Amino acid sequence: MGWQDLRALRAAVRHGSITAAAAVLDRTRPALSRRIARLERQLGTPLLVRTPRSCVPTDAGRLLVDSAAHPGLGHLVGPGGADARRRLRGGASVGRAPRAVQTQPHVHSG
């Protein structure tokens, strides 16, 4: 999973279609579609529900897009991101707290 793949997914979700996202990112629709399909294969789960003229994120797609909007996404990218990618698919990681919990400072509300 690379940053350009995440950027493609975020744009498709934000603009509601792969065609619109491709235009905004100055890419072809097939190229953007391949990036998103590769991301889905790597994660082992669908990220978008596609219709002929639009796309809507699945729960996993929404989770990934929302996570990409926050600092600390690096734990999803690269070979060390297997646990985070497993969580996107709904699998469990035994014995480890999510990396976001491990690295984020504790903030008290109130």
Contact 110, 101 (CB under 8 A): no
Could you report the per-residue pLDDT of 53-75, keeping only the tens digit for each? 999 999 999 999 888 766 555 55
Closest CA to 50 of 27, 33, 70, 25: 33
Closest CA to 12 of 25, 69, 88, 2: 25
Looking at residue 12, its amino acid is A
Structural domains of the chain, ranges and CATH numbers in brackets = 3-103 (1.10.10.10)
Task: Tell me the torsion sign for CA atoms 35, 39, 44, 45.
Answer: negative
Could you report the per-residue pLDDT of 18-43, keeping only the tens digit for each? 999 999 999 999 999 999 999 999 99
pLDDT for the residue 40: 94
Task: Tell me the β-bridge partners of 57.
Answer: 48
